[in-house]
Structure 1
Amino acid sequence: MKQKTVLFSIFLIALISLQGKAQITDSTLFEFTESDTIQAIDSGIETELDIDDDLNSLFSDQMDSLVGSWAIQNKFNFDTSEVRLAGFPTDLPDSVYIQRLSDIEERVDLNYNKVVRNYIKMYTEKRREQVEVMLGLSAYYFPIFEETLDKYDMPLEIKYLAIIESALNPIARSRVGANGLWQFMYGTAKNMKLEITSYVDERRDPIKATDAAARYLSMLYGIYGDWHLAIAAYNCGPGNVNRAIRRSGGKTNYWEIYYRLPRETRGYVPAFIAAMYTFEYHQEHNLVPRYPEISLAVDTIMIDDYLHFNQISAKIDIEKEQLRALNPMYRHDVIPAKKSKTYPLVLPQENIMAFIDADTAIFAFERNKYFPNNTLVDPTTSNSSYFTPVDIKGKAKVIYTVKSGDNVGFISSWFHVRSSDLRYWNNIHRDIIRIGQKLAIYVPEKDKAKYEKANSMSFEQKQASIGKTVSPVKKEETKPLDPDYVYHTVRKGDTIWDIAQKYAGITSDEIIRLNELKNDRGLYIGQKLKIKRKG
């Protein structure tokens, strides 16, 4: 083994239980007027922007999950008897925010408008406890980010993107499968040469993931020559940004293509600017960093043979949960190392010498149980509910347009792919797809032409291609509407919850019961739903 000393943060221990985003909506955080004038501090652009988006839930969910976890509550000091600074400023005039943003030395333009202001208020007033935890975490992570950004000659303020992406949680996992501090999706991570296997996920490695994020952002800046657009493309992909530019008549200012961008991306740059402001001026808002009450010193040992966390925990005084926290890149408690490919093992500094002294006993402990015949076997347990997508390397991408009557199961069978892969590639949640949606599907290169024909085939033809016939469906007679009830006609994008909000005194459960539905999947455009009796 080769020993290499690196200072790693034991902050990871406090984050081990954070596995994803809590889908929390708080519509009270933003109060928008009909229009607002953008004041661009550096660029000199002044234009009208209609403020009609309540975007807070798209960025506050990671923060909401942060302090609610057991690990954070137990590793950070949240004693209610602790003396904190009393009060904090509210209702500051716009001129204060504008002046402070102007005083920040930066290479990324800092615009100010009501969207930015409302994000600042979210950070400095509504989410103070979460922000104070992130301030504590930043003491470790920001030096890593800055060193990497400096390596690629990038603006150091790009480090604030990780606040928006993951709330500085190295094991954050979004509901659509983005992972790590920088929230890489599977395909992007593979393209950036991050290792993702059944055993290793480098999206969770703070150092390697940060390097990949810097390279990707540098590439995006090379395309657009504008950091706002590069940041937007990091969030929604260059294809969406290119379409927004094209639909805006070739305009390349973020604020001028604002409403051509996907909804989440509209708030991405304002949230980034607000995060930078909050961290730069946290003292002015009486925000005090909260640090974990644990040691910070750790070392890294390079491992050159298969090793299971249970073997380590059994022979030296360290809990397996602590090993998982310090080594979040290992997906099944297994380090799949060998002579030709070593992997790092991060340990508290006080455990390093114990590991070195007992290394022979550690590797030998129940060796055949964990590695029969000294080989890796398929993992049977995991420290998270991971799904491993197929590798898209060497595969051809086919774009399929969803038709009426399609569902995830049908489409996956027509293209001979797993439903779980189809969901992963296209960020499909709860199997919800819509007519006209474009789905990326990865198929063998040699079969690309065959699968591209699916877009011009009928449902019956696609079923026949997999050896299935479509039985004629007897058309049900349309039931007459009951004049004693109010009815709702289902429109594109409707959900039962959305419909219930439109009618006073009715709940989602009552709509389901009245119409004998199971869930949202029973809805179709044009359907007449019985809502309630006429008053």
Structure 2
Amino acid sequence: MRRLYVVILLLLTLASSAQDPEVFLREKGYLVRGMSSLNLPANRKGWWGLSPAIAVKYGLDVSEGFDARMDPYFSTEAAQEWYEDLLERFEDSLLADYAFVYGPAPATRLSFDAVEFIKWKKTIEDWKSMEMDELPDFSDQKEMAVSGSFYWSDVPAVMGWNAADKRFFEVANPGIQNDHLEIDRTAVVRMNPLPTKDQLVQLFELARVKDSTALQGLMATRNRIENDIPDPSTHTRITYRVRSGDYLGVIANRYKVGLSDVKKWNNLRSDMIRVGQELVIYVPRGVDTRVVTAQAAERREGQVRSDEEDREEVQYKVKTGDTLWSIARNYPGISADDIMRWNGIDEGIREGQVLLILVKSSTAQ
């Protein structure tokens, strides 16, 4: 009976040791050094070069805001569980080592290749001669699980830390990546002292405000993409008020943008616009809107020569199929250029547009 008790006690001791990251690192730490000399896939990170799939399988959180693979303690615990499963599967430590580094399938092939197996054994012996890493000492730090949206940059101010405190927080929490812990993620962080309930409430409130702002920015970006609105870094947004003689083609050409773009930006289903209507236009950087607008205003004022001042003013309403040249033919001695000059317009006209015609009294219609 006493012998059975000793065996049970020994098994419990071994099980306890197997769960100690320090013990596993002493036994298999050569893998850490050895893998650092290999060109492993970019998605394998941390001390033990764990892939995202393996890390998640063994309980590690992997996200943009917190990657537990980068934490030596958390990654060692997961690596130990994975290694134990590999050892149980292959029943050989060298094959388990190979599977840990290269994957179970290559390890299976290695088991049937004596030459490569001997080479691998020599590689492991070389790795074991390297200096081993040691786990950092965070024994004076307390651990706390944080779930939900959380911004790491807010912690120093809320906790009242100085630069040294902030730096120590970063060193003690290598799993922290970027600045934001996503709302559906969990991170285990080390701090001493831990934040109070009020401080946590403050941190989550700051996160809520930032999330709201980020959501507004996301919706604005989505709206910009859906409506083909140019990037603000390359275009300037202006509001243009339609004046007499304007039409979409002239306005678009004036500001070096497409007619279809102007219609999209303003939800226009046709080319029809009205005097006084405000249009949003995204003008490419490099186009001086002040100069363009001033030139357009000058053209809209029209120009009448001194020898034309005694002519009679006639208003002509543009009909379907009209062009400036066909209209000019109705008035002897008047050209299309005269009509453009008097009205301050370009060649394009639209149905319903009213044009000023200066005619001699004998030709007025």
TM-score (norm 2): 0.43
Q: Looking at secondary structure, tell me which structure has more helix per residue.
A: 2
Whose RCO is larger (CA < 8 A, sep 6+)?
1
CA radius of gyration, larger in: 2
With normalisation by structure 1, the TM-score equals: 0.31
